[in-house]
Every structure is written in C-alpha cells, then in structure tokens.
Structure 1
Amino acid sequence: SCEETEIQAGEDWKKDHGYNFEVPVSETPKLTKPVPLRSMGRFSHEAVAIDPDTGIAYQTEDEGNGLIYRFIPNVKGKFHKGGILQALCFKSEHSMDTRNWKENKILLNELHDVEWITLDDVESPENDLRFRGAKNGAAIFARGEGMWFDKGKVYFTCTNGGKKKLGQLFIYTPSPSEGKNNENNNPGKIKLLVEPQDSEIMDMCDNITVAPWGDMIICEDGKGTDYLLGIQPDGTIYKLAKNALNSKEFAGGVFSPDGSILFVNIQLPGFTLAITGPWQG
C-alpha cells in the first residue's frame, strides 16, 4: 500500500509520511502493525508492481516531474529487510524528458534501451529525491500513476503526459538479466504505446490493469465524464464502461482470479462495482 504524500513530522504530524507498507492478504480481515518500508524511498508514491520471478518492485511517483523507480530487495519477498532503490534512465539521453509537453522527444512505439541509476539518501529529508535523481540522469515522467505487471512486462500510465496533457501509456520490458551486474549487456527496453491528442479518445489515464485476454484496462480521471477504457496491444483504444453516476473517477480496476469479474471503484461516494462477463477477447 502506498502513501501518496511527502508530509513531514511537525506541528500536525508525529511522523514523516511518504512510504510504502506491506498489508497481509487473508480471508479474515485483521489489523496489522504499520511498518514503513523505508528502503523503498520516501516520495509521493502512487502504485507498485512486482515481478514475481525476480521479486523486483517497480514504482510510480505522482508528480509532474516524477521518476520511475525500481527496488531490488536484499531478500526476495521480504522488503522490510532492505534493498537498493534505483531510477529509470534512457541510455540514449540522460535526464530525458518523456512528457512531450514542449518537444516531441519520445515517439510512439520506438524502443529505447534503459539503464538504472542507484539513488542515495532515499528517505529524502528535503523532499528532493526526484530532483537529485533527474540531475544524475534519471528520466522525467508526467505524473506516473497506475502500474501493472503482466507476462513479463511492466505497464504504467502518466496522467497528464503528452502535448495535450491527456495522458501516456508506457510499457517496460525488463532485461533477461534484470537487476544483475550484466544487465547492461542486454538492457531492458521501454516504449510509449499511447499518447492521444483528443480527449474524446482518452482523457487523463490513471489506474491500469491487464485483462485476461491481453488488453489493458484504463481508469480515466479526466475533466468531465470518466470512462473505463480498453487498449489493445497495438494501441487501439475503445470505451468499455461509462460512469453514469457522477463525474468522479474510476479507480482500482482488477479482475477476479478466474477472470470472470472486473472489480472497479468510483472514488466518490466510494462504491465498488462488480462487472460480470462473459468477456470476449
């Protein structure tokens, strides 16, 4: 679970915030002691996606000049035992601005080799982790939000990326030697799959999941009526569902383990919906 804040201890707060926490999954809900995972960094966390094979955790940062992070744990599956926090960097150009706000530097479907730079002082008492990372070569992203790992790929959204600030969808394919000393010999690769120029097609993508048939399912957080969108592997976008209740965002879309039910929230008034199939890929 992520804290989407950088609030520090002071008059109104007893402790610094901006950490991840592990929440045990069980059939019987119960309270657990909140232990901040300090080595994963203190920043405005939005989402975490974990590669079950390597145990590496990938993280988004909900800032207009945020970074994409990965955390390599010292012990697989035990994040509280510490690890190394790194930020994504384009090999072709350090401190790459992927937002495409002023200049179209990242083109659709172009593959870019990636390297990762190790960060220090990750609890960031000055709330400057992303600034130090970018200065040292990390790529800059526009409000990294939803993130999902599926079949060897990391999918993530940038809510107001692109010339029209309508959002971007990136796909990162980890190296076969991800997190190992020789990964630069066969580096991971990133590409921009979606960057619409029309709000009727997509208006500020947020949370993301991957459907059993391989399409990406996006929750909009736009300025008007919000939709659940489907995105095919070739980048084709279609409308899946409309929030006919109000103008609040969809959030937290996820399929049941058997793939038959899509659960999704409407942030306010706090509804959880169960959308049943049969689904057709």
Structure 2
Amino acid sequence: MAQRIPLPIKAWGRAVWEGAEIGADLSSAYLTEDTKGGLFYRWTAPQGVTLRPGIATQLGEGGADRQAQTTDLRQQFPGATTHRKIEGVWSDDAGEGLWFTHSTVKDSEHPEAVANQGMIMDYSFAEQTMTLKESWAVGSDFDAPDNITVSPWGGVVIAEDGSDPNHLAAFTERAGSSALAKDIAERGEWAGPCFGGGRALFANIQSDCTHMITGPMAKQLHR
C-alpha cells in the first residue's frame, strides 16, 4: 500500500474541529467545534468547486481566492444553542439533513439557558433550520452526548462521554432515548459508532478497543 500523507483543508480554517459532514449538494461542509463555547458552522465552497476526494489539493493552499464564507449557524436558534461544546455530526440516509449533538449546559455557565445534560439536534438542508429533537434533563440516565450516527432503521445512536458508566444510547422521535449498550466496566467514553455490513453496530470504548454489536436493535431504532 502506497504511503499517503494527509493534507489539511486549509480553506476550512483552524478550530477545534470535532465532526464534519458534506451537504447533499456537494458544495457545502458542516463542521462542529469541540471546545467550550464551540459553534456549528457551514462552509460554502467557491463557485465551481465540488467537495469530493482530493478536495485538499483542489483547494490549493487555501489562499484568499479559494476561501468562502463560513456561517455560524447557531444564530438561527439562539436559545437552545447555548452550550458547552458541539460534537458529533452525521447525515441522514435520505440526504435531507444531518444530526448533531450538544454537550452539557450548566446554570452557572449560562443563566439564561435551561440546564441540561445534552441535546440532540436536526438540521434541514432545504429549510436551513435547526430543530431540537431531544434534551437530556439534569438527573436523567444519560449525559454528555458525543459522536452520533444514523441507523439503517432511521433512529440514531449516540455515544455517551459523561459520567461512568457510559452508554450507547438509542433515540427515535417515537420512543425517545433508551440504553442500547452499557459499559459496566466503566472504562471511559464511547466513541465512533457506525453501522457495517449485516447491520452490525461498531463502536469504540476509547481506553480499550472496538466492539461489534449485533442483536435485535431494529425495535429500538425503528423510526
């Protein structure tokens, strides 16, 4: 296998990036920022540029002529987007939008916001709006949602990066949040959930290893 040296996409700028997804139009990127006060961004490609493999080379050295506007999308939804940081992001299978997560909000940090242990959001490409789908109340079983992925059945799986024991949580608008898996050994955060062949769920416990999870998940994740 030929050695490949990764190239930065300099036109996206520097930030504490966490997640990135490409819009259905292949001309926009949606980025989350994993830092206190982090933002949710949309980057729009210069005219004639398509976001495809090799994009870092296509954008060159990121000079002023290749830059494009980056928009802070939380301005469209100022109340519920007061947060500690924004983390995972994943497109839905229909190409209509994407899901992303907010970490914890505390009263002492943002007195104007409702204290919570994390939020799950939906962003519509067509309407360019955000919708709050779930808020984990203080004292609930889950806290600090991190990575997120869309299941083959339409529901989403969220990796918990909070207080032990951490979970992989299932969420559907029909049934709300429920525990899909639990790390009883309390080894730290779950990360990187994704579905592979045969509808198996792969996920990492960050301090340990990658797990393949199979079983009757459809009932919990059917939208």
Query: Shorter chain as normaliser: what TM range?
Result: 0.7 to 0.9
Which one of the candidate residues 159, 177, 189 is aligned to 1:219? 159
Q: Which residue of 1 aligns with 2:110?
A: none
Q: Which residue of 2 aligns with 1:143?
A: 85
Distance 1:262 1:193, change over 3 A: same
Which one of the candidate residues 112, 115, 124 is aligned to 1:173? 124
**Match of 1:39, as an amino acid?**
A
What is the CA–CA distance in structure 2 between the aligned matches of 1:71 and 1:60, rounded to whole Å?
11
Give 5+ residue unaligned stretches, structure 2: 60-65, 106-112
What is the CA–CA distance in structure 2 between the aligned matches of 1:243 and 1:216, rounded to whole Å?
19
Which one of the candidate residues 117, 130, 137 is aligned to 1:190? 130
What is the CA–CA distance in structure 2 between the aligned matches of 1:92 and 1:144, rounded to whole Å?
15
* 8 A Cα contact 2:116 2:138, kept in partner: no
Deviation at 1:224, TM superposition (A): 2.0
- Tell me the TM-score normalised to structure 1 length: 0.64
Aligned-residue Cα RMSD (Å) equals 2.3
Whether 1:56 and 2:32 are equivalent positions in the alignment is no
Q: Secondary structure of the equivalent of 1:39?
A: helix
- Identical residues among aligned pairs (%): 29
Q: Which residue of 2 aligns with 1:84?
A: 68
What is the CA–CA distance in structure 2 between the aligned matches of 1:195 and 1:67, rounded to whole Å?
18
* 8 A Cα contact 1:144 1:157, kept in partner: yes
- Tell me the TM-score normalised to structure 2 length: 0.79
Distance 1:261 1:52, change over 3 A: same
Which one of the candidate residues 193, 211, 217 is aligned to 1:273? 211
Deviation at 1:262, TM superposition (A): 0.4
**Match of 1:274, as an amino acid?**
M
Whether 1:155 and 2:127 are equivalent positions in the alignment is no
Q: Provide runs of 4+ in structure 1 moved above 3 Å.
A: 88-93, 97-100, 161-165, 198-201
Deviation at 1:227, TM superposition (A): 0.4
For residues 45-93 of structure 1, the C-alpha deviation after alignment (integer angstroms, 9 at most, x for no partner) is 0010112443421000012211111122231125321442412346767
